[in-house]
Amino acid sequence: MTKSPRGPSSMPEDLSAPVVPTGPVAPVARASDRSDFAMDHPHKNLDRAARAARARMSAGISAHSFIEAWTDWAQHMSQAPGRQLELIERAQRNALALMSHLSGAKGEETPPFAPKPFDHRFRHPGWQKPPFSLWQQSFLATQDWWDFATDHLRGLRPEDADRTRFMARQTLDVMSPSNFPALNPEILEATVRSQGRNLAEGAVNFVHDAIKTLTQTRDPAPEGYRVGEDLACTPGRVVFRNALFELIQYAPRTAEVRAEPILIIPAWIMKYYILDLSPRNSMVNYLVGQGFTVFAISWCNPTAEQAELSLEDYRKNGVMAALQAVNTIVPDRKVHAVGYCLGGTILAIAAATMARDRDDRLASITLMAAQVDFAEAGELLLFVDESQVAFLEDMMWDQGYLDRPQMAGTFSAIRSEDLIWSRAVQRYWLGRQEVHTDMGVWLADTTRMPARMHSEYLRGLFLENRLTAGRFAVEGRVIALKDISTPMFVVATETDHIAPWRSVYKTQLFTDCAVTFVLTSGGHNSGIVNEPGNPRSRYRVSHRPEGAFYVGPDDWLESSAERSGSWWPEWAGWLSGQSSGVVTGRAELGAPQFGLPALEAAPGSYVFQT
């Protein structure tokens, strides 16, 4: 990062000191004091300001990366006569299949082209009848051709091929017949049935959403989904607080508890209560019911004044400060550390640092949908290259953080068929209100990311992949995941487009410790929040002993048996096996004798920061 002419940072040297419950939270760096976001010459700052303005208008997307990808693809395609012939043949084959199906010449009942599994735009039965079937199949045939046209080509950079395919898909999604009332049988049917009331209600929804977007406001939580009452309602108390996080300890529900406590480290890109939703699907509630003493970090929602927060702050003044507090409250016991998403990545960094420094306070490590290697990080890599990262850095340099809409837009674009266009049709053309769910309410309760931390994360991990390349340094010394000897439990989800399961699986490639690996049904969130009793749940599990040879993900998938049910009981049993026994549960929370009294009731105050 670069230096700001606005003055030195006022970030306190020690964020780990607990905050007195009756006093204000310790101050952090003001936006005007940001020291890491400046250039040597004011003209360069003018360039950054101009790029920041463009970034805000484009939701943080750099056009240069995508223009370069189109150019690279077009040049290689123009010099590949064989591929051009393949594309001609593909177009002819698709056209013949389309005509054959529509004419009924072969008596086929199954259409030749089918939507992708996550594409729900054509579920209405009216799409199977003419003329709507013609428009649907023509669209899917075109989509199939572009998928083939933007496949990897010899000499073409793979990332440029992927970006070109992504852009082609985005363009096609705009032109999908499902978006137009006159071409969509579901909209026509609803309009006739309601005598146009759906269009009037859709217009109201559109105006409502437009006002929220322009004013950057959010609807209050609906009845039955209040944080602290209906969600994040597992009984507990805040037992530690600094400027970065609150630590919540949950009250025991069993007379005896496992001797080793659990510390949950969620991602700071989300509110922690994804793991404490409704009582029926709360992971925290489940663990407490299984006889574990559970602690959870609730991160602050950073503002521009906290722009200088770094990855090292999140490790040292986050993970390590929380671990120290847990060790104080539950002395002389090791800790089961659990990290979800980014929280799992920072936990892996912290664990490798602890191993290097001969710190053996961890009883086990659980990584849930968390990556340590980012070479195969999925479609998020479409948005990470030098140009894109610089574009985001300039925007964050100007505003101090990565804002909620800028993150949400990226995740939505990856699954635009469902998350953008299907939703738009439902709300604006069909006039339907969204059905509230606990996870949907949580998804809308987004957070920000500090500028310095997010830049370090994108550059050091996503762009340069330093952690598994032996180039990630903590306190001036390189760390290695292979130093970790603590047993690991690694969870990946089948349809995760944020942390693809094969990428999560590679944790086994870069570690030598004993690893239990679970691949569960669902996506990045639904696969983790996968409570017992869900009839659609299934998972695969394997146990790799310490020092065993590596088995590739495809070979592993072929040899592993699928089991029905939730993976949570498997994990709880594994945690119990890593524990030393049971002790009597303590009704008192915190450790007031050591300066860690129980403060306010869970979920604390940081979870309500907007």
Pairing of strands 262-265, 335-340: parallel
From the candidates 233, 300, 341, 513, which is the catalytic residue? 341
Name the region of 170 (left: φ>0; alpha: ψ -120 to 50; beta: rest).
alpha
CA distance linking residue 49 with residue 598, whole number of Å: 46
Residue 368's DSSP bridge partners are 340, 491
Q: What 3-state DSSP class applies to 249?
A: strand
Q: For 157, which DSSP code?
A: -
Q: How many CB atoms lie within 10 A of CB 207?
A: 11
Structure confidence at residue 601 (pLDDT): 97
Q: The domain that contains 532 carries what CATH number?
A: 3.40.50.1820
Q: What is the pLDDT of residue 105?
A: 56
- Asked if 312 contacts 346 with a C-beta cutoff of 8 angstroms, the reply is no
Q: What pLDDT does 101 receive?
A: 85
Report how far residue 597's alpha carbon sits from residue 240's, in angstroms, rounded to the nearest whole number.
Answer: 8
**7 lies in some domain:** no
In a domain, residue 252? The reply is yes
Give the total number of structural domains in the chain.
1
Does residue 584 lie in a domain region? Answer: yes
Q: Is residue 205, in this structure, part of any structural domain at all?
A: no
62-63-65-70 Cα dihedral, nearest 10 degrees: 160
Amino acid at position 48, single letter: R
Domain that holds residue 282: 236-379+474-608
C-alpha count within 13 angstroms, C-beta hemisphere, residue 458: 24
Q: Do 219 and 158 meet the contact criterion of CB atoms below 8 Å apart?
A: no
Question: Please, which residues bridge with residue 474 across strands?
Answer: 477
Is 324 part of a structural domain of the chain? yes
Phi/psi at 454 (5° precision): -70, -35
Can you point out the beta strands (E) in 2-89? none
Distance CA 584, CA 252 (A): 10
Please identify every stretch of the chain with a pLDDT value under 70, giving residue numbers as ranges. 1-43, 58-60, 105-109, 404-413
Q: Bridge partners of 297? A: 247
Q: How far apart are CA 414 and CA 380, in angstroms?
A: 8
* Per-residue model confidence (pLDDT) at position 103: 80
Q: Which of 210, 423, 461 is nearest to 311 (CA)?
A: 461
Q: How many CA atoms lie within 13 A of 219 on its CB side?
A: 16
Helix (H, G, I), strand (E, B), or coil: what is residue 54? Answer: helix
Please say whether the beta carbons of 1 and 274 come within 8 A.
Answer: no
Axis crossing angle, helix 386-399 with helix 63-78, rounded to the nearest 10: 170
Residue 599, both tokens = 């403060």
- The CA–CA distances, whole Å, from 292 to 98, 252, 259, 336, 489 equal 59, 7, 8, 10, 17
- The whole-number pLDDT of residue 220 equals 85
**CB burial string 311-326: b at 16+ within 10 A, e below:** bbbbbbbbbbbbbebb
Query: Is the backbone peptide bond immediately before 603 cis, with ω within 30 degrees of 0?
Result: yes
| Cis peptide bond N-terminal to 220, omega within 30 | no
Residue 144 lies in a domain: no
pLDDT of residue 108: 55
Please report the pLDDT score of residue 29 as a whole number: 36
The whole model's pTM is what? Answer: 0.88
Report the pLDDT value the prediction gives residue 608, as an integer from 0 to 100: 95
Query: Is residue 253 assigned to a domain?
Result: yes
| 341: annotated active-site residue | yes
DSSP 162-197: HHHHHHHHHHHHHT-GGGSGGG-HHHHHHHHHHTTH
Residues in the chain: 610
**Buried-state track 52-72, b at ≥16 Cβ within 10 A, e below 16:** beebeeebbbbeebbebbeeb
Question: DSSP 3-state assignment of 500?
Answer: coil
| Residue 52 belongs to some domain of the structure | no
Element (H, E) at 205: helix 197-215
